Amino acid sequence: MTGGGRSTRFYAVLSIAAAVVTIGLKFGAYFLTGSVGLFSDAAESVVNLVAAVTALWALTLAARPPDEEHAFGHNKAEYFSSGLESALILISAGWIAATAVPRLFDPEPLQNVGVGLTVTLVAAAINGVVALSLMRAGRRLRSITLEADARHLLTDVWTSAGVVVGIVLVGLTGWLVLDPLIALLVAANIVSTGVRLLRDTGKGLLDRALPAEDQAKISKILSRYEERNIRFHAVRTRSAGPRRFVSMHVLVPGGWTVKRGHDLAEEIENDIARDLPQSTFFTHVEPAEDPSSFADQDLDRESLDGEA
């Protein structure tokens, strides 16, 4: 899976490198200041590292060619990565909350605030640049793993921004309780991100139809053939990671030769593949005059004696 000369695994390695650097920076900022808000930020970066390593594993597995046990490829491995990342995000939110709640009742003064905030802002800038790069690559390469990692990193950037604002407010007002309150807000934001990722993962595992824009492209192509009195039914789509699957029944005049029907199916598939690369097709050619051609549109094929 490549795009722009770089594979999905290149971006996963980039995410790992960014996570290692930002972990060092953020924990350094935490130890300098003693801010539980900065600790929450650093804790999320640990999750980023675990998620990035998992993403690299999933993308490596997804890139493997089909084999006897996985005839349709390994693309769904990406959903395991995004699902695990969702779980890790929720765990990190719990970790942050457990650290912040005691500070609500026993606030502690912050130290070396200027240096700590500078280090945090540098780490946030690194995450921001990497997140935007991953998001562009994820959309171009149709990788849910890269998009999940990008959204997580962007959440980390907003987390850092919120923590910085909280620490600045502590300095301006002297209200030490603001530090753990900001940490709890960070935890709530992380939970929201984890739930969204979990929902997206579920959609992929449930073999949801292709996005509306992809289906519109297919419909537009098929409509050109319908003008030639070619009919279609049982058009179904799904995706597994970046790979699309399209199945359809093509109804042609019963007097056509097998070769003519086959050539038409090839033409239709090629037209769709130009607009939707990384597509696998299952095309069934049927005689339009035969009533039985209209009896097999459901997922369960009806037997000839009428029994399911």
Among 47, 31, 42, smallest CA distance to 159 is for 42
Q: pLDDT tens digits for 191-243?
A: 887 788 788 777 777 778 888 899 999 999 999 999 888 999 999 998 877 78
pLDDT at 308: 47
- H/E stretch holding 127: helix 113-141
Alpha-carbon span 155 to 92, nearest angstrom: 13
Cα separation, 194 vs 155, whole angstroms: 10
Q: What local confidence, expressed as pLDDT, does residue 306 receive?
A: 52
pLDDT by residue for the chain (308 residues), tens only, comes to 444 457 788 888 888 998 899 888 888 888 877 777 677 677 777 877 887 888 888 888 877 888 888 877 787 777 777 787 778 778 777 877 777 787 777 776 666 667 777 887 888 889 899 989 988 888 888 787 788 788 778 877 877 777 777 778 877 787 877 777 877 887 787 788 778 878 877 777 777 888 889 999 999 999 999 988 899 999 999 887 778 899 999 999 999 999 999 999 999 999 999 999 889 999 999 998 888 777 777 777 665 555 54
- In this prediction, residue 250 carries a pLDDT of 95
Question: Domains in the chain and their CATH numbers?
Answer: 2-205 (1.20.1510.10), 212-294 (3.30.70.1350)
- Beta-carbon contacts of 269 under 8 Å, excluding residues fewer than 6 positions away, are 281, 283
Cβ atoms of residues 53 and 16 within 8 Å: yes
3-state secondary structure of 279: strand
Give me the pLDDT at residue 3, please.
Answer: 42
Q: Which amino acid appears at position 42 of this protein?
A: A
Closest residue by Cα to residue 232 from 244, 218, 245, 213: 218
Looking at residue 2, its pLDDT comes to 45
Tell me how far apart the alpha carbons of residues 29 and 24 are, in angstroms, rounded to a whole number: 9
Report whether 251 contacts 286 (CB < 8 A).
Answer: yes
Contact 288, 252 (CB under 8 A): yes
- Of 292, 286, 273, whose CA–CA distance to 232 is shortest? 286
152, 81 Cβ separation under 8 angstroms: no
